[in-house]
Amino acid sequence: MKIYLDNAATTKMSKTAINAMLPYMDNVYGNPSSLHSVGQAASEALAAARKQIAECIGTLPEEITFTSGGSEADNQAIISAARIGQRNGKRHIISTAFEHHAVLHTLHKLEKEGFEITLLDVHENGIVLPEQVAAAIRGDTCLVTVMYANNEIGTVQPIDAIGKVCRANNVLFHTDAVQAAGQLHINVKEQNIDMLSLSAHKFHGPKGIGVLYARKGIPLMPLIEGGAQERGRRAGTENIPAIMSMAAALQESCAHIDENAGRLCVLRDQLIDGLSQIPHSILNGDAAARLPGNVNFCFEGIEGESLLLLLDDKGICASSGSACTSGSLDPSHVLLAIGRVHDVAHGSLRLTLSNENTEEQVAYTIRAVKETVAYLRSLSPVWRDLIDGNREFIIQ
Ligand SMILES: *Cc1c(COP(=O)(O)O)cnc(C)c1O
pLDDT digits (tens, 9 = 90+) for 149-191: 999 999 999 999 999 999 999 999 999 999 999 999 999 999 9
> What integer pLDDT is reported at residue 321 of this predicted model?
73
Alpha carbon of 70 to ligand 1 centroid (Å):
5
> Of these residues, 56, 254, 317, 324, which one is catalytic?
324
Q: What's the pTM?
A: 0.96
Alpha carbon of 7 to ligand 1 centroid (Å):
12
69 lines ligand 1 (CB under 6 A): yes
Categorize the per-residue pLDDT at 327 as very low, low, confident or very high, splitting at 50, 70 and 90: low
Alpha carbon of 130 to ligand 1 centroid (Å):
24
Atom of ligand 1 nearest to the CA of 208: 7
Q: Which of 71, 150, 175, 296 to mutate to test the pocket of ligand 1 (most atoms within 8 A of CB)?
A: 71
Alpha carbon of 73 to ligand 1 centroid (Å):
9
> What integer pLDDT is reported at residue 87 of this predicted model?
96
Looking at residues 352-361, what average pLDDT do you find? Answer: 97
Alpha carbon of 71 to ligand 1 centroid (Å):
6
Whole-number Cα distances in Å, 333 to 82, 99, 321, 337, 371: 24, 9, 10, 6, 28
DSSP states along 221-246:
PPSS-SS-GGGGTS-S---HHHHHHH
Statement: residue 58 has pLDDT above 90: yes
Could you read off the pLDDT of 371-392 as tens digits, one per residue? 999 999 999 999 999 999 999 9
Question: For residues 156 and 182, what is the distance between their CA atoms, to the nearest angstrom?
Answer: 14
Alpha-carbon dihedral sign for residues 321, 326, 329, 330: negative
71 lines ligand 1 (CB under 6 A): yes
Categorize the per-residue pLDDT at 329 as very low, low, confident or very high, splitting at 50, 70 and 90: low
Could you read off the pLDDT of 26-44 as tens digits, one per residue? 999 999 999 999 999 999 9
Question: For residues 302 and 297, what is the distance between their CA atoms, to the nearest angstrom?
Answer: 12
Alpha carbon of 162 to ligand 1 centroid (Å):
21
Question: For residues 364 and 38, what is the distance between their CA atoms, to the nearest angstrom?
Answer: 52
145 lines ligand 1 (CB under 6 A): no
Strand partners, 172: 143
> What integer pLDDT is reported at residue 324 of this predicted model?
47
Nearest CA to ligand 1 atom 5: 70
70 lines ligand 1 (CB under 6 A): yes
φ, ψ at 364 (rounded to 5°): -60, -40
Query: Mean pLDDT, the chain, as a whole number?
Result: 96
179 lines ligand 1 (CB under 6 A): yes
Atom of ligand 1 nearest to the CA of 70: 5
Statement: residue 252 has pLDDT above 70: yes
52 lines ligand 1 (CB under 6 A): no
> What integer pLDDT is reported at residue 223 of this predicted model?
97
199 lines ligand 1 (CB under 6 A): yes
> What integer pLDDT is reported at residue 230 of this predicted model?
94
Contact assessment for residue 120 and residue 95, using Cβ atoms and an 8 Å cutoff: yes
147 lines ligand 1 (CB under 6 A): yes
Atom of ligand 1 nearest to the CA of 99: 13
> What integer pLDDT is reported at residue 322 of this predicted model?
56
Q: Which of 95, 199, 212, 326 to mutate to test the pocket of ligand 1 (most atoms within 8 A of CB)?
A: 199
- 324 given a catalytic annotation: yes
Whole-number Cα distances in Å, 157 to 177, 206, 288: 10, 26, 12
100 lines ligand 1 (CB under 6 A): yes
176 lines ligand 1 (CB under 6 A): yes
> What integer pLDDT is reported at residue 247 of this predicted model?
98
Q: By percentage, how much of the chain surpasses pLDDT 90?
A: 96
Could you read off the pLDDT of 194-248 as tens digits, one per residue? 999 999 999 999 999 999 999 999 999 999 999 999 999 999 999 999 999 999 9
Q: Give the DSSP H or E segment for 296.
A: strand 294-299
